[in-house]
Structure 1
Amino acid sequence: MKLIPQYDPENFRAATQADSPDVENRESGDFFIVELSVQKKQLQMPFLPHRLTVNDFVFVNSGEMVKTVCSDSYSISQSTLMILPPYKIRTIEKFSDNIDGYYCNFPDELLSRDKGFKNLQEILSYLDIKNDHRITVNDETKENLMNLLKRMKELYQQDNISLIASYLQTFLAEIKSVIQGLPPISLTANETTAFHFRKAVTQYINSVHSIQKYADILHVSPNHLNKSVKTATGKTASSIIGETLTMEAKSLLSNTGLSISDIAYSLGIEDPSYFTRFFKKHTGISPNQYRKMIDLSY
């Protein structure tokens, strides 16, 4: 069972009410680009937790938007890019009134295997280790990126997929050059443990909820895991587990018709009453109250 609603590009366009009626006839297929000012008008905020089957990014030229990725909230402001790989849980929280920039999603297959795909993987790897998917660029690079994005938007409207691919690869090469100019990331022992812990939580959250079991997965003691995570992130290991599980629960409550009991079971919680207590502890309201709140807002 997929615990977070998952969109392929066509379904995501439909969910965001984006694009023209003839979108299914496009050769550009899984590529999509739109101005953030347009997306702001099309989306109801917050846009609920979801996953995508493709890579996506936002580049903010001016203004601000707020996104939650997994359990962490990020402000994306002027001259800042946020790029995410497929299947990361993300939520769009809000846009400022003066937002300007672009949203884009694209599949790996659009990139050449020798350069474009390699550049993408190096960018994503750097940001994963950094534990922050944002990159802020200088004015010259911002102008270059905006020109590339404007051209990709024009080519998208013309359905010229071959030139789109070329401009996208140039865009990623620009981002890679920015990263190459940044200091290399050197993780401490605590940060390394926290990095692997976060990845394990993302992978096993629907079945593993105890610090002891995550410690076993990482081959460390629970005490060492707790101290390392707290030192590196400022959060306890249990709070990260709780935040991630709550995000999964919110998504199921807002995007599926599953009963509360079925949601609890799908998250690896055998006692629905415990799930209700857990959810209320972390959100202040019961699962049913949350579901009603979402229904009213949408």
Structure 2
Amino acid sequence: MTDLRTLRQPRSQVPLHNLEVPAPGVLPFALGSFDTIGPLSRAGFAHRHSFYELVYVTGGRGSHVLDLVEWPLDPPHLWVLLPGQVHHWADVSGLSGWVLLFNEDFLLRHPEDVDLLRLLAARPWLRPDRAQDRALTGLLGEMQREHRAGEAGFPGVLQAYLHVLLVRALRASAPGPSGRPAPPRAAELATRFGRLITDPGRADRTVGSFARELGVSTGRLHELVKEATGRTPALLIRQQQTLEAKRLLVATELTVRQVAAQAGFPDPSYFCRFFRREVGVTPGEFRARAGGNHHDPGVRSIDGCPAGPVPS
């Protein structure tokens, strides 16, 4: 059996949920309802996952907060959470539906599913119509029956079902920024670029460094990423760094200086200018307004973030 557990973390880190696989050969996969998966499947505190989670909400009230954005429940919703994203459930009652948990090892037979998951994660709270809802519910039911039976070859069947589920979910989602699918080369490169910029341990986050790693020129990277996403590589990098800084400010007790370092800014003063330009307030003000209040906003000047007008 696979268990969902919270790894104990110091208060300077976001709590991490992990899939506990008790023995070699046990499938790194879990499927069930919010009740059968357990109370951590609807945790009301901000946390990250070390695995992928796919949730199909069929009933309930309240909201889901994903990377600081609150999404009111109005089922049905299909949602994909990637490893490293921060989320929690807020004021929920009567929450019902399906929960799928799995890690990278479960995707080995269909490695292309990693790209499908990232595409779906970029479109939170998909709203299937009635026909799509019936199809998705039926497919999830088949997956649960296969999982419970555990007959010969069932891991491969579940992996195939998951692939079908992701493809059908994408059909139910909106088209890309241009209103039509991106060309394969552009979509592939943009997906690889998206994976790289989410690595929190990366030191060099310049467009040039990403282009070299991807084996293209800076100009070509700009062209293909813009074609696939409607945004430039530089803008996507800034948005990712801003998002990670927000996550750390709200969900940890790190000082602004420590947040700067973890978000990829060796100079905290530059980080403060960057954050104020992107968000409109200082990191300390953002933390206070978001309800963290881990530190008195008055100490922000110690970290090089004096109050004042937002720089242009």
TM bracket, shorter-chain basis? 0.5 to 0.7
Shift of the 288–178 alpha-carbon distance from structure 1 to 2, 3 Å rule, reads closer
Shift of 1:287: 0.9
Matched, 1:275 2:275: no
Q: Distance in 1 between matches of 2:256 and 2:157?
A: 47
Deviation string 1:222-247 (CA, Å, 9 cap, x unpaired) is 22222222221111211110111112
- Contact 1:61 1:146 (C-alpha < 8 Å) held by counterparts: no
Is it true that 1:51 corresponds to 2:48 in the alignment?
A: yes
Kept in 1: contact 2:59–2:96 (CA 8 A): yes
User: Unaligned regions of 5+ residues in structure 2, if any?
Assistant: 1-9, 21-26, 172-180, 295-312
**2-side partners of 1:93 and 1:280: how far apart?**
28
Corresponding letter in the other structure for 2:57: V
Whether 2:227 is the aligned partner of 1:231: answer: yes
CA contact (8 A) 1:60 1:80 kept: yes
Tell me, in whole angstroms, the C-alpha distance in 2 between the residues paired with 1:212 and 1:130.
Answer: 27
SS in 2 for 1:208: coil
Distance 2:196 2:28 in 1: 33
Q: Give the paired residue count.
A: 260
Superposed displacement of residue 211, structure 1: 1.6
**Residue 16 (structure 1) aligns with:** none
Amino acid at match of 2:117: L
Change (3 A) 1:242 1:92: farther
Identity of aligned residues (%): 20
The Cα of 1:265 is off from its aligned counterpart by: 2.3
Q: Among residues 129, 132, 135, which one is paired with 1:138 in the alignment?
A: 132
Matched, 1:5 2:45: no
**Quick check: 237-246 or 256-265, which moved more?**
256-265
Question: In the TM superposition, what is the alpha-carbon distance from 1:176 to its structure 2 partner?
Answer: 3.0
Given the alignment of the two structures, is residue 254 of structure 1 paired with residue 250 of structure 2, yes or no?
Answer: yes
Higher relative contact order (CA 8 A, sep 6+): 1
Distance in 1, Cα, partners of 2:263 & 2:95: 36
Paired residues of 2:56 and 2:99 also in contact (CA < 8 A): yes
| Counterparts in 2 of 1:5 and 1:270: CA distance versus 1, 3 Å | same
Counterpart pick for 1:245 among 233, 237, 241: 241
1:82 pairs, out of 72, 79, 99, with: 79
**Residues 205 and 241, structure 1, Cα contact 8 Å, conserved in 2:** no
Structure 1 counterpart of 2:208, which letter?
Q
Q: For the residues of structure 1 that align with 2:149 and 2:86, how far apart are their CA atoms?
A: 25
TM-score in terms of structure 2 length: 0.60
Tell me the secondary structure at the aligned position of residue 54 of structure 2.
Answer: strand
**Which protein has the bigger helix share?**
1
Q: 2:163 aligns with which of 148, 159, 176?
A: 176
| CA-based RMSD | 4.8
- Structure 2: distance between partners of 1:221 and 1:274: 27
Match of 1:127 among 93, 117, 120: 117
SS in 2 for 1:215: helix
Cross-structure match for 1:265? 261
Distance in 2 of aligned mates of 1:195 and 1:218: 11
